[in-house]
Amino acid sequence: MDAQIKMMMDLLNNPMFQQGANEYFKIAQQQGMEAAKKFWGSSINTNASASAFPDAQQMFDRMADFSSAMGFVPLGKYEELQKEHDKLRAENQLLRDTIRDLQQTFAAENGAKAQEAWQSVVDKQLEMSREVTKSFFEALKQPPK
């Protein structure tokens, strides 16, 4: 573990390596890890200074594994996904608003119908009570047979 940390510190303290690493990270962020791997691989083959860092490939491979394990994506893909997320969020809000409006309309219409039905039932009950009361008093007024 200490040897790996020393290797990384030695590499990161070298100005030539820093320049290549910065370019690697820039490409990784913009185009993705595969493009960055290709960049570093082509740099090793064509650039004599990059081949002076044999441990760098191992470090970049580990960084690529770490990036993929963490789910890092290129900036372009992130922005595309963020736009899609915002679009879906807006559509969801529209659907929620539509459903809420439909529920309110449904409740208002059916609430009015239920109120009318309830009033009709109460009116019928009152009418029946009046008739029963009237019949009772008429029965009391008649002489016994």
CA distances from 11 to 14, 21, 86, 101 (A): 5, 9, 41, 63
Distance in angstroms (rounded) separating the CA atoms of residues 78 and 81: 5
CA dihedral sign, ordered 88, 93, 98, 102: positive
pLDDT score for 143: 72
Q: pLDDT tens digits for 48-79?
A: 444 556 666 676 777 777 777 777 777 788 88
pLDDT at 119: 94
pLDDT exceeds 60 at position 90: yes
Residue 75 is predicted with a pLDDT of 76
**Residue 11 contacts residue 50 (beta carbons within 8 Å):** no
- Whether the pLDDT of residue 128 is over 50: the answer is yes
pLDDT, average across residues 27-34:
78
